Structure 1
Amino acid sequence: MESTGEASVHYDRWSENNINMNVESSQSTTMRIYNRACVGKTGIALRAAGVLCALVVIYIIGYVTGYYVHRCPL
């Protein structure tokens, strides 16, 4: 039933030496920084810290602006 002639196709299994599992070394530096800072628990923490800093800056700007707008004239 099986053909042993030249028309048969031979599939080689992959050698473990040919498989590159080191994905991080093949990525660019910016992608490694992005993956470390923006994905996962670290990314969530950095976003939360960024939002908190932005809210504090907006609060300080509003406080200073309100102080100078509403102070009593001399």
Structure 2
Amino acid sequence: MEPQESAVQYSGGNNSQDEVSKNVSTPESSGCEQFYNKLCTGKLGIAMKVVDGIVLFWVIFIVGYVTGYYIHKCK
């Protein structure tokens, strides 16, 4: 593995808030990182989370319905 170059900058001054920034440069982002950045951030990320929540709701609803049907089924 090649070492990553990084730089940390500290700006003190007379401000009441201290600011620290760290920059890490990599030669190329991994596929997983690009996938995460595309689907989990921004407007598309919010839309994906909403869709995931709706799908999860319906999966739990259907599993509960089927389970309840077989548990309370009249003999």
Structure 2 residues without counterparts, runs of 5 or longer: 1-24
Bigger-Rg structure (1/2):
1
TM-score by length of 1: 0.61
The two structures, once aligned, show a CA RMSD in angstroms of 1.7
TM-score using structure 2 length: 0.60
Q: Alignment length, in residue pairs?
A: 50
Q: Which runs of 5+ in 1 are unaligned?
A: 1-22
In structure 2, C-alpha distance between the alignment counterparts of 1:71 and 1:28, rounded to whole Å: 52
Structure with the greater relative contact order (CA < 8 A, sep ≥ 6): 1 or 2? 2
Higher strand proportion (structure 1 or 2): 2
| Percent identity between the two aligned chains | 42
Structure richer in helix, relative to its length: 1
Cα distance in structure 2, aligned partners of 1:50 and 1:32: 20
